[in-house]
Amino acid sequence: MTVEQVVVSDGAAGPYGVAVGADGGVWFTLVHAGEIGRLAADGTVARHPLDSPECGPAVIAAGPDGALWFTRMRDHRIGRITVGGEAVSFALPTAHCGPYGLAAGPDGALWFTAMNADLIGRITVDGEVTEYPLPVTGGFPSMITAGPDGALWFTLNQGNAIGRITVGGETALYPLPTGGAAPVGITAGPDGALWFVEIGAGQVGRITVDGEVTEYPLPDREARPHAVTAGPDGRLWFTEWAAGRIGSLAPDGAYAGYELDGGEGGRAAEPHGIAVTPDGAVHVALELGAIARLVGRGLL
């Protein structure tokens, strides 16, 4: 397989989250610059400044309305940007809640985590917000994804657990076997289970909709896996932030890793968000200022 890297900003801007838009573009957040960017298939880059350079756009996801939605973790708002580049944002009821993870739900709304407030939020495409407190203190809810069972599943980074919330707001928490695992990324897998990465333990985890957990240690336990997504090849793809690597795991647990180029002066690539385009290419946001694209045998 081949890893290509497209420079989309300087390192100070910090590409962080990445998602595929309804227009086929690869959209990304620039967490330190307060901008949303788009990478076209021909390599053209467009950047859209938001109303506050300090808003901290983090995780981005395609919405049911054809727009891109994102969390603004520093000014505690949810943002929306059309494929034409028009952006708005919505205030949240709980002050300083720290919205972070975001995903489209099965109910036509967007669901998000509030890492500072131990709650899960729901926002309609019209901007109406509902918040659901979690039965935990200091759990640091992180990433969230729609599950195969019609519920939303999320990670509790400091609560060391995986959570589930129905569209009606009923929650359940499932503790992880490994202490200090600190889960972050989570995604629905090709096998009807949820897959997540443990940044603190250097593992990939799998949880069934019944709450049964299996963990797979990575060859490099210090890799600090951060984000994860399912590919059309049946593998789970994830970023290894500390190692500067893209990792993948087959359904049987077989691992493969792909090294990323760092920046000048030995700076690490710092891969964060990850997404797969319809052609099967894996795209990763590199905080050093680039989007990496992995293509080749085994991918569409």
Question: Known catalytic residues?
Answer: 272
Half-sphere exposure of residue 84: CA atoms within 13 angstroms, side-chain side: 2
Task: List strands edge to edge, sheet with 183-188.
Answer: 183-188, 194-198, 203-207, 213-217
DSSP label at residue 178 = S
Half-sphere exposure of residue 186: CA atoms within 13 angstroms, side-chain side: 31
Residue type at 273 in one-letter notation: G
Q: Coil, helix or strand for 266?
A: helix
CA dihedral 120, 278, 39, 145 (to 10 degrees): 10
- Name beta bridge partners: 112: 102, 121
Token digits of residue 45: 């880059």
CB 18 within 8 A of CB 275: yes
Dihedrals phi, psi of 265, to nearest 5 degrees: 75, 20
